[in-house]
Amino acid sequence: MSEPTRQNGNGPALALRAIARSYREGPSRLQVLDGAALDIHPGEVVALIGPSGSGKSTLLHIAGLLEKPDSGAVVIGGEDMAAARDARRTRVRRLEVGFVYQFHHLLPEFSALENVLLPQLIANRSRGEGRKRAGDLLDRLGLAARARHRPAELSGGEQQRVAIARALANRPRLLLADEPTGNLDPRTAGHVHEELLHLVRTEGLAALIATHNLELASGMDRIVRLENGRLVEERR
> Is residue 129, in this structure, part of any structural domain at all?
yes
In a domain, 6, yes or no: no
CA 30 to chain CA centroid, Å, is 26
pTM, entire model: 0.87
Number of domains forming the structure of the chain = 1
Please report, for the domain that includes residue 47, its CATH number.
3.40.50.300
Is residue 45 predicted with pLDDT exceeding 90? Answer: yes
Domain range for 28 is 14-233
Question: Is pLDDT above 80 for 183?
Answer: no
Is residue 213 scored above 90 in pLDDT?
no
Count Cβ atoms below 10 Å from residue 183 Cβ, excluding itself. 16
- For 145-173, write each residue's pLDDT tens digit: 999 999 999 998 899 889 999 999 999 99
Mean pLDDT of 130-135: 95
Which helix (H) or strand (E) is 166 found in, with range?
helix 156-168
Q: What is the mean pLDDT of residues 180-187?
A: 80
Average pLDDT over residues 26-48: 91
Any domain includes 99: yes
Is residue 3 a part of any domain in this protein? no
Q: Left if phi > 0, otherwise alpha if psi is -120 to 50, otherwise beta: which for 170?
A: alpha
Query: Is 113 a domain residue?
Result: yes
